[in-house]
Amino acid sequence: MSGTKRTSPRRGGFAFDTDVAIAHLRASDKTLARLIDRIGPFRMELKGATSLFDVLAEAIVYQQLHARAAASIHARVRALIPRTRGLAAARALTLVSDDALRGAGLSRSKLLALRDLAAKTLDGHVPTLARARRMDDEAVIEHLTQVRGIGRWTAQMLLMFRLGRPDVLPVGDYGIRKGFGIAFRRSEMPVPADVEKRGERWRPYRSVASWYLWRATDSIPAVPAKAGT
């Protein structure tokens, strides 16, 4: 992962020029260029964010659930802390009983994860959205993965789809590896090291390459459209 920091938003809200990124990828990898030609224009969309607490709380609720069921549970949890966002929501969550949260549909593990997220938000370990935008990628990942229930993949998805970072390559993602195998005609499922090695050619725009690999399989990760709703 690079030490990329966010700069002023460009077209589409990204922290980089997407046209420059495509040109770089075409020049650096002929096989990837053919995939770009086949898929067409870069159409990755960023999702809104009110705070990292809201985004991560939603991510925790959605883990390992069908989107419709997760949305229903998330709505019930939000109803317990209405009209709050960010620090206020984290503070409000600490006042909600375990029984009420379990009644909303949370498993015990997710309840504990939300409790930990709230505590780490209130003590400043989980950065504010403004602070996260000034941090490099690995610093964001390091902070967020210390929260119970938040792994590297979740942090990488936040960097890509919420902060618009240019150089994220989630090599452990099944869709990325499957798309890589399709694009590079591998007879067996590539291992993360294969993707990581080839991805060195794509720096500093590996997020764009990742989007095209997902498109090769039509398996772009489902990211909730709205945070904290």
**pLDDT digit string, tens, across residues 114-141:** 999 999 999 999 999 999 999 999 999 9
Q: Mean pLDDT over residues 185-204, rounded?
A: 96
DSSP calls for 43-98: -------S-HHHHHHHHHHHTTS-HHHHHHHHHHHHHHSTT--HHHHHHHHTTS-H
Banded model confidence at residue 9, pLDDT cuts 50, 70, 90: very low
pLDDT at 224 over 50: no
pLDDT tens digit string along 75-92? 999 999 988 999 999 999
Indicate if 173 belongs to the active site.
Answer: yes
Residue 15 confidence (pLDDT) above 90: no
Pick from 192, 187, 220: which is nearest to 47 by CA?
Answer: 220
Share the mean pLDDT of the chain: 91
Q: What is the pTM of this model?
A: 0.87
Q: Which of 17, 173, 194, 218 is catalytic?
A: 173
- In the chain, what are the domains? 11-46+165-217 (1.10.1670.40), 52-161 (1.10.340.30)
Q: Which of 122, 102, 121 is nearest to 110 (CA)?
A: 102
The model's pLDDT over 47-65, given as tens digits with 9 standing for 90+, comes to: 988 899 999 999 999 999 9
**pLDDT value at position 7?**
43
Written as six digits, the tokens of 190 are 């590539």
Longest dimension (CA), the chain: 57
Peptide bond preceding 170: is omega within 30 degrees of 0, i.e. cis?
no
**Spatial separation of the C-alpha atoms in residues 141 and 144, rounded to whole Å:** 5
Q: What angle do CA 40, 14, 214 make, to 5 degrees?
A: 40
- Eight-class DSSP state of 191: P
pLDDT band at 29; cut points 50, 70, 90: very high
The amino acid sitting at 131 is: R
How many Cα neighbours within 13 Å face the side chain of 24?
A: 19
Q: Measured between alpha carbons, how far is 35 from 133 in angstroms, rounded to an integer? A: 31
